[in-house]
Structure 1
Amino acid sequence: MGLNTPSDEETDLMIGPTDQGMVRIYIQSTSVDLPLDFSPEDALAIAEELSAAASMAQSVGTK
């Protein structure tokens, strides 16, 4: 499966700080239970990448 492969699987996504000073992205579905911990600096870099991808996706949707 790649970025452009559609999926009907429902997934929950939770994001928040841990008690260890990390940022956790937690992905849960029927086939996945995946906690991902990042330093605050890495989390900010991920947030910038998400924002850039969202901007690009909006421009594709308006064509």
Structure 2
Amino acid sequence: MGINTESDTEAGLQIGPTDHGMVRLYVFGDAVDLPLDFDPDEADEIAEELRIAAAQARKVKTRRK
């Protein structure tokens, strides 16, 4: 599965600090239970990548259903 592959899988996402000073992205759902921990600097890098991807996605013209 890649970035442009659609899926019917539903999942939730929780983001928050842990009691060990890490930032946790917790992905959960019927098919997944995945805690991902990052140090604060890595979390900042991920946040920047998300901002860049969001800006690029806004430029894409899509067919809306």
Give the structure with the higher percent helix: 1
Stretches (4+) displaced over 3 A: none
TM-score (norm 1): 0.93
Query: How many positions carry a matched residue from both structures?
Result: 62
Identity %: 60
- Structure 1, unmatched stretches of 5+, are none
TM-score (norm 2): 0.91
User: Which whole-Å CA distance do the structure 2 matches of 1:32 and 1:3 have between them?
Assistant: 18
Say what the alpha-carbon RMSD is for the aligned residues. 1.1
Letter of the 2:52 partner, please give it: A
The within-5 A match list for 1:1-63 is 1-61=1-61
